Amino acid sequence: MLDVARHFFPVEFVLRMIDQLAAHKLNVLHLHLTDDQGWRIPIPGYPRLTEVGAWRPETIVGFDHEEDEYERDGEPHGGAYTRAELEDIVAYAAARHIDVLPEVDFPGHASAAIAAYPKLGNGGRSEVRTRWGISTHILNLEEATLRFVQAVFDEVTSIFPSAYVHGGGDEVPKREWRESAKVQRKRVELGIDNEEELQGWFTAQVDRMLREKQRRLVAWDEVVTGGAPRDTVVMAWRSTGYGVDAALRGYDVIMSPSEYLYLDHRQSTNPDEPVTFPASPLPLARVFEFEPVPEGLREAYGRPGCGRVLGGQVHLWSEYVPTVAHAEYMTFPRLCAFAEAVWRQPLAPGGTRSFPEFHRRLSHHATRLQAAGIRYRRFDTSSAFLELEQVPPERRLALAGPS
Ligand code: ACM
């Protein structure tokens, strides 16, 4: 997964990553197209999504512990793909046997949409968010909002032929729904007991919209709590345990636990590493240890009612990843370790996966990365961020303002 919402990445970079996915025998590119800090896909009838929702006035770039406040860059950031560009991405990927899984994140992580169209929200001031973390602003549940959601999925499914479409569903604070008289009236009308189940109802609406188009909903693992429809594919991110739990409840699962696969973590404890959002390190060897089908689940496999693991997925969230070179630094060589993890048998017992053996081959593989011009993190020395500092300015992603 590439998060093009927190930082907008140019089409050329997306194509370059597709080449690398193909080289590493990975067959899905999940594009996280919308979030609180930016909306990146045009939707007919809703021009303000990209005119307003695609731009934020500045970005948090770190935290000043002496001043006890965020460091801000003071630079506008944003951008959106055109429909033709997204179609090009899909075609380029398809020619390399890669499906593009589009994601629009609802009903939380929707501040950019609400800033563009405040009527989608529950009142109060909303803007394209400049801070990271979880926003309290979420979509309301009015008919006009559901028509908006339908329009978004109509457009998304007309651009992306993928059999699967990601509807988000993570990190949805329920306070606005609890405090909104309109939402509460709707809840009572629907005969629903609480706000978690209201999210289940919302998930069922999205599931229905997608099923009408013969597509299958993928959603983050939080949707299990509110009772998502059983054909939802659960993308387990909070931990492997949430994936096991979902599978045991009968959901098909994509295993993508943050403790192994969130590439926004720093790669070592070296103080030269760039600023990251999560403080804990996720070294190469840890990614390598990822087991798509953990042991506890292997025993349950084949039992009636048990879901399946459809695959594993590694993620690059881009809160603190403002440039192409930085994105490559965070992704490689950890993506290589991920490919090894999903293609080789378990580490133990009787498996064929070995970190020392992988590490030896990685030295040769680095020649390929170099030939492709990938700014990977050095794994043969303790030097951390040197590679990135050597990136010539023209290779860095321009942080342009709105024209
Ligand atoms: C997520 O990291 N909130 C899916």
Where do the domains of the chain lie?
2-399
Check pocket membership of 259 for ligand 1, CB cut-off 6 A.
no
**pLDDT at residue 27 greater than cutoff 70:** yes
- Which residue among 6, 220, 242, 316 is best mutated to probe the pocket of ligand 1, counting the most ligand atoms within 8 A of its Cβ? 220
Catalytic residue among 30, 32, 109, 166: 109
Q: What is the mean pLDDT of the chain?
A: 92
pLDDT band at 295 (very low <50, low <70, confident <90, very high): confident
Known catalytic residue at 252: no
* Count helices and strands in the chain by DSSP H and E runs: 16, 14
Selection from 326, 269, 314 nearest residue 290 by Cα: 314
Ligand 1 pocket: which of 171, 239, 259 to mutate (most atoms within 8 A of CB):
171
In this predicted structure, the answer to whether residue 155 has a pLDDT above a threshold of 90 is yes
Give residue 279's pLDDT.
80
Buried b (16+ CB within 10 A) or exposed e, 43-82: beebeebbebbbbbeebbeeeeeeeeeeeeeeeebbbbbe
Which of 135, 133, 104, 103 has the alpha carbon at shortest distance from 122? 135
220 within ligand 1 shell (Cβ under 6 A): yes
Asked if residue 385 has its Cβ within 6 Å of ligand 1, the reply is: no
Is the CB of residue 170 below 6 angstroms from any atom belonging to ligand 1?
Answer: yes
What separation in Å is there between the alpha carbon of 403 and the centre of ligand 1? 31
109 among known catalytic residues: yes
pLDDT average, residue stretch 308-329: 96
Give residue 242's pLDDT band: very low, low, confident or very high (50, 70, 90).
Answer: very high
pLDDT band at 381 (very low <50, low <70, confident <90, very high): low
> Is residue 390 scored above 60 in pLDDT?
no
366 C-alpha vs ligand 1 centroid, how far in Å? 30
pLDDT digits (tens, 9 = 90+) for 66-77: 888 889 999 999
Please give the pLDDT value at position 385: 41
What count of other Cβ atoms lies within 10 Å of the Cβ of residue 277?
17
- Of the listed ranges 50-59, 161-170, 278-287, the least confidently predicted one is 278-287
pLDDT in tens, 219-235: 999 999 999 999 999 99
pLDDT attached to residue 212: 98
Ligand 1 nearest-atom number relative to CA 315:
2
Quote the percentage of the chain above a pLDDT of 70: 94
**Band of pLDDT at residue 272, cut at 50, 70 and 90:** confident
Say whether pLDDT at 398 is over 80. no
User: What gap in Å lies between CA 337 and CA 317, rounded to an integer?
Assistant: 18
Task: State residue 168 phi and psi, 5-degree precision.
Answer: 75, -125
The pLDDT of 14-34, averaged and rounded, is 98
Q: Which residues contact 119 (CB under 8 A, 6 or more apart)?
A: 142, 144, 145
The H or E element spanning position 301 is none
Q: Is the pLDDT of residue 396 over 80?
A: no
Decide whether any atom of ligand 1 lies within 6 Å of the 171 Cβ. Answer: yes
Is the pLDDT at 302 greater than 90? The verdict is: no
Residues 258-278, mean pLDDT to the nearest whole number: 90
**% of the chain surpassing 90 pLDDT:** 80
Label residue 399 by pLDDT band (50, 70, 90).
Answer: very low
Output the CA 48–ligand 1 centroid distance in Å: 25
For this structure, is 193 an active site residue? no
Q: Tell me, what's the pLDDT at 382?
A: 46
Look at 30 and 295; give whichever has higher pLDDT.
30
pLDDT range class, residue 400, cuts 50, 70, 90: very low
Only one residue has tokens 């080789």, namely 344
Model pTM? 0.93
CA of residue 380 to ligand 1 center, whole Å: 31
Predicted pLDDT at 257: 97
Contact 27, 94 (CB under 8 A): no
Residue 10 confidence (pLDDT) above 50: yes
Cα gap 66→68, rounded to integer Å: 5
pLDDT band at 392 (very low <50, low <70, confident <90, very high): very low
Residue indicated by tokens 């009572």: 188
What pLDDT score does 240 carry?
96
Q: Please, which pLDDT band fits residue 393 given cuts at 50, 70 and 90?
A: very low
Q: What are phi and psi of 246, to 5 degrees?
A: -65, -45
Model confidence at 30: pLDDT above 70? yes
pLDDT beyond 70 at 387 = no
- Ligand 1 geometric centre to CA of 305 (Å): 27
| pLDDT number for residue 273 | 86
- Average pLDDT over every residue of 202-207: 98
**Average pLDDT of span 176-190:** 98
pLDDT at 380 (0 to 100)? 65
The pLDDT of residue 306 is above 90: yes
The residue whose C-alpha atom lies closest to atom 2 belonging to ligand 1 is: 237
Candidates 3, 7, 35, 252; catalytic one: 35
Superfamily of domain 2-399: Glycosidases (3.20.20.80)
Mean pLDDT of 358-385: 82
